[in-house]
Amino acid sequence: MAQSDPDQLRLVQESGAALFEAVAARGGVPVEDPLVADEPEATQLLVRLGVLREEDGRYIVVDPQMAQGAVVTPLSQRAAEAIDAASSWAQAFSQLTQAYRRYPPTADGPMAELHGEQLNAFLEQVVEGARDEVLTAQPQVGRSAAGLRTATARDLAALQRGVRLRTIYQHAARRARFTRQYVDLVTAEGGEVRTLDEFFNRLIVVDRRVALIPSAHDRTTAVVIRDSNLVAYLVDIFERNWDRGLPFTQTTAEIASTIAAEQRAMATRMLIEGHPDSASAKRMGVSDRTYAAYLADLKRDYDAQTRFQLGYRMGLEASSGSRDD
């Protein structure tokens, strides 16, 4: 008997239960009694289930608890096996999904564009899969507290697996409280962080096999690069910037003086080149208000009343210096 047959279950629920109760109420019935003779399918099913038994020409009821195990136990075992199988299949597909996110298919071959949540999921998976090294360049201060918390958990997990982590920020990041907290945590686990004066684009390289760079379209899109030659080129750029960077964790007077001089020089360069204030502030990784303070200091130093006067006098000074050389 197919004990899991839904038609048989329905027959028990619709007519078999009523028939069983009627036979039980009468203390059994003769096998030719119309009660059972008129319901041959239900009668035979109850007999096969073991809750109705023929004895001395009569049908008598049997305690269903005694017969239940023969039907329910095999079904429960199959259900448990099905749950185990489902769990195993879920794990297998999870492994496949991780591989898919690490190496997303694309018609562009070694490069692919990822957007929004797809990008976030890929980043989580590729860093979780790091085995040797993660290189990160993070321009500007503008990382949210929530974003830094996520990055902190992810990066600490990588460091604890023995992965080497190196990060480059702009000098302005030293003023951001959440960034300082992040740096304290990762450096305590062996991470290394340096800062630069100049603007650079965001870059993440994992195990020197896959790199992520910003898309030219928008900030929510990134380009995943798996071409070994392009990845090696990006690593070389990172290493050159790393060599020029100043350790984040060192706060000596000499380093502080160097940082101040480099930021002032960059503000001067932005002004001479004619960049708008908002664009200059963005390239330096500072707020418009902080950049305005830089300009105020420069105006005072050059005795200039307006931005135009300041740019003109600084340009003359730069031109004079070039001629002297």
- The closest alpha carbon to 266, from 239, 250, 233, 290, belongs to 290
3-class SS of residue 93: helix
Q: What is the pLDDT of residue 144?
A: 62
Q: Which residue pairs, CB below 8 angstroms and at least 24 apart, start in 53-60?
A: 57/30, 57/31, 58/28, 58/29, 58/30, 58/31, 59/23, 59/28, 59/29, 59/30, 59/31, 59/33, 60/23, 60/27, 60/28
Q: Are 132 and 207 in contact (CB under 8 A)?
A: yes
**Average pLDDT for 253-272:** 70
Q: Are 110 and 226 in contact (CB under 8 A)?
A: yes
Q: Are 105 and 166 in contact (CB under 8 A)?
A: no
Q: Higher confidence at residue 201 or residue 141?
A: 201
Q: What is the pLDDT of residue 100?
A: 61
pLDDT band at 149 (very low <50, low <70, confident <90, very high): confident
pTM assigned to the model: 0.55
pLDDT band at 2 (very low <50, low <70, confident <90, very high): very low
Lowest-pLDDT range, 128-137, 209-218, 263-272, 313-322? 313-322
**Average pLDDT for 43-63:** 87
Q: What is the pLDDT of residue 251?
A: 63
Q: What is the pLDDT of residue 160?
A: 93
Q: What is the pLDDT of residue 253?
A: 64
pLDDT band at 281 (very low <50, low <70, confident <90, very high): confident
Quote the mean pLDDT of the chain: 80
Q: What is the pLDDT of residues 192-234, one digit of tens each?
A: 999 887 777 889 999 999 999 988 777 778 888 988 899 999 9
Q: What is the pLDDT of residue 172?
A: 77
Q: What is the pLDDT of residues 78-127, one digit of tens each?
A: 888 888 888 887 888 777 766 665 555 544 567 888 877 778 788 888 88
pLDDT exceeds 70 at position 70:
yes
Q: What is the pLDDT of residues 167-197, one digit of tens each?
A: 998 887 777 778 888 889 999 999 999 988 7
Lowest-pLDDT range, 6-15, 63-72, 277-286? 277-286
**Average pLDDT for 300-323:** 71
Query: Quick one: which H or E segment has residue 4?
Result: none
Task: Report how far apart, in Å, the C-alpha atoms of 212 and of each of 217, 223, 245 are.
Answer: 14, 6, 21
Q: In what order do the strands lie in the sheet with 111-115?
A: 111-115, 221-225, 210-214, 203-206, 133-138, 164-170, 192-196, 246-247
